Every structure is written in structure tokens, then in C-alpha cells.
Amino acid sequence: MKHGFLKVIIMLIVISLFMALTGCGSRQRVVLTVVNPQFLLKGKADQILLTVDSEVKGSGRAELYLNTLNALQESKLKGQDGIATAFRDDYTIINVNEENGDVIVDFSSRNLTGSAVEEQLLVSQIVSTLMQSYDEVKSVSFTIDGEEAETLMGHVDITERFTAPLEIEK
């Protein structure tokens, strides 16, 4: 009896280790909204925001959302031609939560600076990416250091939920 119980415990440990080491979790196809580099270089482009298909992995919805935003932040680092992002390397997301279809993205205030256009692009990229990638996402809200704020960088009003990307002035 003890021998059989011990085998079951060992099997459960082996399975748990295997899952942890292989990163088991669900895979999600996502649509990253990126910036047309022509807009960044010349200040104008026929289409400012572009989309790129990608895939992320996560063990729950919040982790999938966070990993999606991490992929958006890293999109310029992967050497993909023809894409850029306003999501700078020194911006940090502390947490991502979802409440009744509203995804709340909590940024660290550290290094969170930029021009009005950079802030518009960042907000638009995040809102568009989450809403195009996940059917259950109905809106996106932003907080800074876990607190409600008026803006991320001093330009775009974030006191209300976003249900669509911003109109970027060309």
C-alpha cells in the first residue's frame, strides 16, 4: 500500500516538473499593432498603425495579456523589417488584470516620459493589440504604480476606459 502511494506521489512530481520545465500553458494567436516606420522617420504615412500576427503563451488570461504586451514591446527587437513600436524598452508594466471585459494595464512611473505623439501611439498600440487579439476584451484602462492617473506622460487623458485606438494626427 505504501509502495503504491509513493509511486503516485513520484509520478505527480515528475509530471509537475515536466510541465514547469516545458512551460506548459495555452498558446494564443495575437495581432500586434505596430507603428509604420515611415511615420516615425518622416512624420507622415498613409497608414500609421500596421498589424503583425504573432503567438504568445501563458497559463491564464492575465499572463496571456501581459505576454502579448511584452511581445509588442519586443517587436522592434526581433529584427522584423517594416515595423516599429512606441513601446520603449525602458517602460515597465507592473501588472495586467481583467475585470468584466476591461483590461487594466498598470505601468511603472519610472521612465514613463514621451511626447504627445509617443503617448498617443503607445496607448493606441496597446488598446488595438488587446482588443484585436482577445474577443473578451471590451475596453482597456491604464493606471500608474497601481493608482488611477490623469495621463501616462502628460498628454493623453486616461481617466476613462478606451474602447478603440486614438486617432493619431498625421
The reported pLDDT for the residue numbered 167 is 84
User: What is the pLDDT averaged over residues 101-128?
Assistant: 96
User: Can you tell me which residue has the cell 485606438?
Assistant: 165
7-58: pLDDT as tens digits: 766 766 766 555 554 455 688 999 999 988 888 778 788 889 999 999 999 9
User: What is the pLDDT averaged over residues 137-154?
Assistant: 97
* For the ranges 17-26, 30-39, 76-85, 105-114, the one whose mean pLDDT is highest: 105-114
Judged against a pLDDT cut of 50, whether residue 155 lies above it is answered with: yes
The reported pLDDT for the residue numbered 31 is 95
Judged against a pLDDT cut of 90, whether residue 68 lies above it is answered with: yes
- Cα separation, 133 vs 84, whole angstroms: 19
- Cα separation, 51 vs 31, whole angstroms: 6
Beta bridge partners of 103: 98, 140
Q: Which residues contact 19 (CB under 8 A, 6 or more apart)?
A: none
pTM over 0.75: yes
